[in-house]
């Protein structure tokens, strides 16, 4: 891989890292929202949707970790 393509991938990794942080922040806010709901609402459809959102955002951040790891492997070859 040439220097220009390697730099492009490094830039992408940096951008993905920023996006991952933003997703984690939104996920934490969603999780805090769920935690602060009364128990009755936590068990409602709305509460379950908030909980699912927090979980899905956590998974999305984890998926970005995997992508960044793969890209790092590519530029290290």
Task: Determine the pLDDT at residue 57.
Answer: 98
pTM of the predicted model as reported, rounded to 2 decimal places: 0.91
CA distance 77 to 69: 13
CA distance 56 to 27: 8
Those residues with Cβ within 8 angstroms of residue 24's Cβ, 6 or more apart along the chain or in another chain? 57, 58, 61
pLDDT tens for the 77 residues of the chain, in order: 999 999 999 999 999 999 999 999 999 999 999 999 999 999 999 999 999 999 999 999 999 999 999 999 999 98
């Amino acid at each position: 891989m040439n220097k220009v393509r390697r730099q492009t991938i490094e830039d992408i990794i940096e951008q993905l890292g920023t996006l991952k942080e933003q997703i984690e922040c939104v996920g934490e806010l969603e999780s805090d929202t769920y935690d602060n709901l009364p128990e009755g609402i936590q068990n409602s459809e709305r509460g379950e949707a908030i909980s699912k959102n927090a979980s899905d955002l956590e998974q999305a951040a984890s998926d970005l970790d995997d992508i960044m790891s793969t890209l790092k492997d590519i530029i290290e070859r």
